Amino acid sequence: MKQRPVLVVAMAVALVMVAAGVSLGLWAASDGDGGSTGTEARPSQGRTAAAPRGTSPESSPSPSRSYALSKAPQTIPAVRDHEPARGPGWQPESGNRVVVDDAALADEGRLVAGELGLTYAGEKADRRAGDLRLALGGDKKANPESYVMTVRDGRAEITGPADAGVFYGTRTLKQETHDGGTAPEGVVRDEPAKPQRGFMLDIARKNFTAGWIEDRIRELGDLKFNQLGLHFSDDQGFRIESASHPEIVSQQHLTKAQVRKIIDLAESRHIAVVPEIDSPGHLGAVIDAHPDLQLRTAQGSPVQGAIDISKAESAEIVDDLLNEYADLFPGRPWHLGADEYQALVRSDPEASFPQLAAAAQKKYGSGATVADLTTGWLNDRAATVREHERTPRAWNDGFFRGGSVQADKDIQVAYWTGKEIGAREPLEYLEAGRKVINYNDEFLYYVLGEPQTFVYPTGQRIYEQWTPRVLRGTTAVPERYDGQILGGSFAVWCDLADSQTQDQVAAGIRMPLRATVQKLWDPDRPELSWAEFRALADRLG
């Protein structure tokens, strides 16, 4: 075997000794009086450590990292678009700041800071590593609920044309970073398909505590719902304190102070609370205190829950309540009910209720019917709430064919069923140019005790079969009407109130709520299978 030259071996030994000396010198420096703990020698994520002098970056011993192209966030509802990038992403770390570029975003900033364990620093122009910045900007004509979230260079920024969009961006970020997760590098561009994404709760038949309702508001906010309907008047109870008519209020009820707290919490989550005082049916709690206003047949038999709309006092008491609660509920939408007026289920309403027939003819002419008088009642109540700058809506079976009186054009249709007498196909409302909100009882009705033909809806069925265009049954209306469908609402009705506890209701609606908002945010076929979606919901909590 050939031996290496002695000179070469000697040089090699010398080089090793020099290298060892440099290394020992570096370690000695880091343990000296400079106070270094050794962490300074570790480069931050996504950056390349500086090379020692006299060496090129390519020959540096720096532990620089490369990153795979990021994947889209996993959230409920899913984001509409994600532009991937390479980088470490963003995680909340104690001491990092939430900053805003506009004082109007202070509430959103404080909320997300508290949720993620960050420091709310207010309006700041400087930029620091780890910052989460909230900003107003972009196209002012864009959807006010849209947002852009950029994760880059160790920072995250959420921008939207209005505070609602910025809030929804923080919900995406909260889900991404849940339980130690990382917001992926890149740009999210997101907005909802439908402007109304609701949950309706029947608190008239079953008394729900204020705390339970507040918990649902937090849940709804994180899921990007933006409406909470409260049906608080029915035959079984009237559940909110009243100054104008305290005699009608049930023993178990919400005080106005509790309702204001609920409304304030909802507003902080960009949720409008939509009140419903149903009339002229479903007024049993009012009639219990005012039996003289109950509708009676020609033979004197009382009609359950129905108020006699031929009496001026009936309109006065309902308008008193509408005016009173308009001062309590600040949002624009207002639900007038108008469904299931029992006078109209008789084969000959005019013969069964001659006082209603006479009132109709006196007000609208000799050919007017009980249906005309009932439609006129709806229009009059709509005029009452319109004076408070509210947008009225009514159940679809409160709209009637023919007749001399038609429902006002601005009354939105809350379409829930095709099973009621006189109920019309959704196309009739859409072809007439009306705005419609989807409450399809085939998919979106959670009726306690499962009376009649109702069964508890499943999230899977909503997720796989329902879209906002499926207004009745299982068939979608033509796509050309999509713009008239404002959105939809999942509804809890308490027909058999003791069938479930509050906690059982919360558990039962958990996955249906998530499936509903997924399809309202993006009605296209979801990328995740139902099993994957359910697993994601379980992971996110």
* Residues 251, 184 within the same domain: no
Q: Where residue 82 falls among pLDDT bands split at 50, 70, 90?
A: very high
**Rounded to whole angstroms, how far apart are CA atoms 101 and 225?**
26
Picking from 122, 65, 104, 59, the residue whose alpha carbon sits closest to that of residue 88 is 65
Is the per-residue pLDDT at 346 higher than 60? Answer: yes
* Residues 270, 411 within the same domain: yes
Give me the residue label for tokens 């059982």: 504
Last residue of some domain: 156, 190, 224? 190
**Rounded to whole angstroms, how far apart are CA atoms 249 and 317?**
13
**Rounded to whole angstroms, how far apart are CA atoms 45 and 246?**
64
pLDDT value for 33? 34
| % of the chain exceeding 90 in pLDDT | 85
Query: CA 259, 265, 266, 268 torsion: positive or negative?
Result: positive
User: What would the mean pLDDT of 69-77 be, rounded to a whole number?
Assistant: 96
User: What would the mean pLDDT of 428-442 be, rounded to a whole number?
Assistant: 97
Judge whether 150 lies within some domain: yes
Q: Where residue 419 falls among pLDDT bands split at 50, 70, 90?
A: confident
pLDDT value for 59? 35
**Rounded to whole angstroms, how far apart are CA atoms 168 and 300?**
56
Q: 502: domain range?
A: 196-540
Last residue of some domain: 145, 162, 190? 190
pLDDT value for 420? 76
User: What would the mean pLDDT of 46-69 be, rounded to a whole number?
Assistant: 46
Mean of the per-residue pLDDT values for the chain?
89
User: What would the mean pLDDT of 407-430 be, rounded to a whole number?
Assistant: 91
DSSP run (H or E) holding 333: strand 333-337
Please say if 431 is a catalytic residue: no
DSSP 8-state secondary structure symbol assigned to residue 421: T
Give me the residue label for tokens 């008193």: 320
Is the per-residue pLDDT at 472 higher than 50? Answer: yes
* Residues 174, 276 within the same domain: no
The answer to which of 66-70, 102-106, 319-323 has the lowest mean pLDDT is 66-70
Q: Where residue 422 falls among pLDDT bands split at 50, 70, 90?
A: low
pLDDT value for 34? 35
> Are residues 377 and 315 in contact, defined by beta-carbon separation less than 8 angstroms?
yes
Judge whether 60 lies within some domain: no
Judge whether 449 lies within some domain: yes
Is the per-residue pLDDT at 1 higher than 50? Answer: no
Which range has highest mean pLDDT (18-27, 28-37, 62-71)? 62-71
Is the per-residue pLDDT at 7 higher than 70? Answer: no
* Residues 186, 200 within the same domain: no
* Residues 209, 94 within the same domain: no
User: What would the mean pLDDT of 180-188 be, rounded to a whole number?
Assistant: 97
Domains: count for the chain: 2
User: What would the mean pLDDT of 302-311 be, rounded to a whole number?
Assistant: 97
The CATH number assigned to the domain holding 96 equals 3.30.379.10
Q: Where residue 23 falls among pLDDT bands split at 50, 70, 90?
A: very low
Judge whether 443 lies within some domain: yes
User: What would the mean pLDDT of 295-302 be, rounded to a whole number?
Assistant: 97
* Residues 185, 236 within the same domain: no
Catalytic entry in 108, 191, 276, 340: 340
* Residues 168, 217 within the same domain: no
Is the per-residue pLDDT at 44 higher than 80? Answer: no
* Residues 292, 363 within the same domain: yes
Q: What is the pLDDT of residues 226-267, one digit of tens each?
A: 999 999 999 999 999 999 999 999 999 999 999 999 999 999
Judge whether 20 lies within some domain: no
* Residues 342, 209 within the same domain: yes
Judge whether 472 lies within some domain: yes
Give me the residue label for tokens 């970020």: 173
DSSP notation for 16-75: HHHHHHHHHHHHHHHTSTT---SGGGSPPTT-PPPPPTTS-GGG--------PBP-----
Judge whether 46 lies within some domain: no
Rounded (10°) angle between helices 502-521 and 210-222 = 20
Q: What is the pLDDT of residues 485-508, one digit of tens each?
A: 999 999 999 999 999 999 999 999
Judge whether 43 lies within some domain: no
Is the per-residue pLDDT at 61 higher than 70? Answer: no
User: What would the mean pLDDT of 280-309 be, rounded to a whole number?
Assistant: 97
The CATH number assigned to the domain holding 352 equals 3.20.20.80
User: What would the mean pLDDT of 147-155 be, rounded to a whole number?
Assistant: 96
| % of the chain exceeding 70 in pLDDT | 88
Last residue of some domain: 132, 164, 190? 190
* Residues 179, 302 within the same domain: no
pTM above 0.75, yes or no: yes
* Residues 168, 213 within the same domain: no
* Residues 178, 247 within the same domain: no
Q: What is the pLDDT of residues 312-326, one digit of tens each?
A: 999 999 999 999 999
